[in-house]
Amino acid sequence: MRAASDADLDRDLVAEHEHLVSHYNELAELAGSLAHEIKNPLAVIRMNMDLLAEDLADAETPRERRARAKIDVVHDQCTRLENLLNDFLKFARVRSLDLAPANLNEQVLSVLRLFDVQSRECGIRVLPHLDNELPSVMLDRETIRAALMNLVKNSLEAMPDGGSLTVITRITRNGVALDLIDTGTGMDEPTALHMFDAFYSTKDGGSGLGLPTARKIIEAHGGRISVQSDVGRGTKFTLEFVTPRRI
């Protein structure tokens, strides 16, 4: 009787889990559809603001100049909302991961190359220390690169006056890990506690979805992300991935 009871409980838990997943997928799909519907009229508004700006390109009277300034404000806010919606769609998008054995070092190097020019222009030294013996892990190359891009971008933006970004890959007891260590402005405790909350941002014009999206992607891979930060000293992100036994 005990075994039968446990089996019934397991079935109930599985059914409840499937119901929650289905409900979440429906909400995510609805949110994505709503964001698309908002983007369309927003694009029309911005396009008409561009046309009005062209009509007032040679504004001469004070009234025309005031109108042009108001048009510029509306245009800038439309652009900001479009960027926010694009970030939201990336965050809310639900899709199956195309997992395949991959080397984390290769994904890290491909992302660092994308930021090579920006880091040099900002006076930031990128110091990679990648373990050549790193075992393969199951990754979706497209989404993991998106997560790494968000994290590297965040680190570079934290060093407006230059600094260094140390990138380390290493073998752990259960798999592999990646450390991103910058010498930037760092974060206080309240900011560090909320940095993975959707729409939380301390940057002007930031959507507050870059880091939550990165965490969502990493956790979808069965991994975890943690952060350590000190104001004025810098921030360390650590990503951990489990190595499946079949690899």
Q: Can you give the CATH number for the domain in which 119 is found?
A: 3.30.565.10
| Residues of the domain holding 44 | 2-92
Number of domains in the chain: 2
- 132 & 114 share domain: yes
- 104 & 40 share domain: no
27: domain CATH number? 1.10.287
| Other residues' Cβ atoms within 10 Å of the Cβ of residue 75 | 18
- 143 & 192 share domain: yes
- 54 & 149 share domain: no
Distance CA 158, CA 135 (A): 31
Q: Tell me the C-alpha to C-alpha distance, in Å, between residue 230 and each of 123, 159, 176, 192.
A: 21, 14, 25, 10
The pTM is what?
0.62
211-224 pLDDT, tens per residue?
Answer: 888 888 888 888 89
C-beta of residue 129 within 8 angstroms of C-beta of residue 112: no
For 23, how many CA atoms within 13 A lie in the half-sphere containing its CB? 6
Please identify, among 73, 92, 111, the residue that sits at the C-terminal boundary of a domain.
92
- 83 & 194 share domain: no
C-beta of residue 165 within 8 angstroms of C-beta of residue 182: yes
Distance CA 107, CA 172 (A): 18
- 46 & 17 share domain: yes
The verdict on residue 46 lying in a domain is yes
| DSSP code at position 149 | H
Please identify, among 92, 125, 146, the residue that sits at the C-terminal boundary of a domain.
92
- 57 & 74 share domain: yes
Amino acid, single-letter form, for residue 48: N
Please identify, among 69, 92, 115, the residue that sits at the C-terminal boundary of a domain.
92
User: pLDDT tens string for the chain (247 positions)?
Assistant: 455 555 555 565 555 545 544 544 555 555 666 666 777 788 888 888 888 888 888 878 888 888 888 888 888 888 777 776 766 666 656 456 778 899 999 999 999 999 999 999 999 999 999 999 999 998 888 889 888 998 999 899 999 999 999 999 999 988 999 999 999 988 877 777 766 776 656 665 555 667 888 888 888 888 899 999 889 889 999 999 988 765 4
3-class SS at 102?
A: strand
Distance CA 84, CA 74 (A): 15
